[in-house]
């Protein structure tokens, strides 16, 4: 029986995770914790799922790692500096594994995987992410990760810088620069989570689009993470790809 805790349990994602864990075979919910609650109620859990806030997640991780509890993290806002801090926490208190997934949607993981594969074949790549207006961070963690993967693939292929003649710009008009890849963030009432990766080369374009139509769609990925986190090879893993057979 997997004993699971949930941080952010009253939130849009956390409340779905509570329901998914309660309904899952071989899982038991130890406690759901939100911002006003005592997090020590999760003590005894094998693993805690965190869907809180970019401002809260680092402190939660330090606490979980310090207590030897594996963490499955959906909260966004992880750049290399934050990942380095997590590695330092794990070096100081070895034992707990951490899985950080910018997106638990299986189709979203495939979208990122395909984007990385496509990147070397195109001169230009830009990313448009579209989310509900209650989202705290921009660009999304998914867009940030996709940009990193595209940039990595372009570097490995020795790609030239992307063409862009812009010399006059209202700040923001060309989006955010993430590792040399432009990312444009839209916040639109009625949407949940969507992303388009737009590739172009002479005479051809390719668009890879992913849409999350509800939040239950993330749950198979979250449960896969809960079941798999303890068995991961490295103390810190970024991306659900590690638990899927993609290459
Ligand atoms: N990886 C993925 O697949 C996905 C990731 N996300 C990410 O997950 C995060 C949460 O998103 P969402 O559920 O929409 O946000 P919500 O604001 O709906 O939920 C977050 C919840 O966490 C609570 N919270 C804040 N700080 C703490 C804390 N220290 N301990 C426990 N609970 C806390 C909040 O309480 P209060 O309101 O009182 O602050 C709130 O109830 C975001 O970073 C989002 O980008 C979202 C969807 C999918
Ligand atoms: O805040 C959200 O809603 C989402 N956040 C994640 C992100 O920042 O990429 C995942 C998904 O896009 C939904």
- Summarised one tens digit per residue, pLDDT across range 95-104 is 999 999 999 9
Structure tokens at 227: 């079941």
Question: What's residue 62's pLDDT?
Answer: 98
pLDDT in tens, 191-206: 999 999 999 999 999 9
Q: Is residue 113 annotated as part of the catalytic site, yes or no?
A: no
**Closest atom of ligand 2 to CA, residue 129:** 12
Question: What's residue 247's pLDDT?
Answer: 80
Question: What's residue 40's pLDDT?
Answer: 97
Token pair 């926490």 in the structure block, residue: 89
CA distance linking residue 36 with residue 205, whole number of Å = 49
Task: Give residues (CB < 6 A) around ligand 1.
Answer: 7-8, 10-14, 33-35, 51-54, 56, 60, 74-76, 101-104, 141, 218
CB 142 near ligand 2, within 6 Å: yes
Q: Is residue 135 annotated as part of the catalytic site, yes or no?
A: yes
> What's the predicted TM-score (pTM) here?
0.97
Which ligand is the nearest neighbour of the Cα of 133?
2
Is the pLDDT score of 213 beyond 90?
yes
C-beta neighbour count of 25 within 10 angstroms: 7
Percent of the chain's residues with pLDDT above 90: 99
pLDDT in tens, 13-27: 999 999 999 999 999
Say which residues have a Cβ less than 8 Å from residue 147's Cβ, sequence separation at least 6: 127, 139, 178, 179, 181, 183
Helix (H, G, I), strand (E, B) or coil at 204: strand
Q: Which of 18, 140, 146, 34 is nearest to 77 (CA)?
A: 140
Question: What's residue 49's pLDDT?
Answer: 98
Task: Write the burial class of residue 6 (CB in 10 Å: 0-12 exposed, 13-18 middle, 19+ buried).
Answer: buried
CA distance linking residue 110 with residue 76, whole number of Å = 18
Average pLDDT over residues 44-54: 98
Question: What's residue 159's pLDDT?
Answer: 97
**Closest atom of ligand 1 to CA, residue 60:** 29
User: How many helices, marked H, and strands, marked E, lie in the chain?
Assistant: 6, 11
């Amino acid at each position: 029986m997997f004993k699971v805790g949930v941080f952010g349990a009253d939130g849009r994602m956390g409340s779905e995770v509570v329901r998914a864990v309660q309904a899952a075979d071989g899982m038991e919910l130890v406690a759901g914790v939100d911002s006003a609650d005592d997090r020590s109620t999760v003590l005894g859990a094998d693993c805690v799922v965190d869907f809180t806030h970019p401002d809260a997640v680092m402190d939660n991780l330090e606490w979980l790692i310090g207590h030897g509890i594996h963490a499955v993290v959906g909260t966004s806002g992880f750049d290399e500096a934050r990942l380095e801090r997590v590695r330092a926490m794990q070096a100081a208190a070895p034992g707990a594994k951490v899985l950080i997934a910018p997106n638990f949607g299986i189709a979203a993981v495939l979208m990122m995987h395909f984007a990385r594969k496509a990147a070397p074949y195109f001169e230009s790549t830009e990313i448009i992410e579209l989310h509900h207006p209650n989202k705290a961070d921009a660009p999304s963690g998914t867009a940030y990760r996709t940009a990193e993967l595209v940039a990595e693939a372009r570097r490995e292929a020795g790609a030239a810088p992307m063409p862009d003649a812009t010399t006059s710009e209202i700040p923001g008009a060309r989006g955010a620069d993430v590792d040399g890849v432009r990312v444009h963030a839209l916040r639109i009432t009625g949407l949940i989570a969507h992303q388009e990766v737009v590739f172009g080369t002479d005479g051809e374009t390719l668009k890879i689009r992913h849409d999350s139509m509800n939040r239950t769609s993330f749950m198979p990925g979250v449960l896969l993470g809960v079941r798999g986190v303890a068995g991961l090879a490295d103390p810190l893993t970024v991306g659900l790809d590690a638990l899927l057979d993609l290459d």
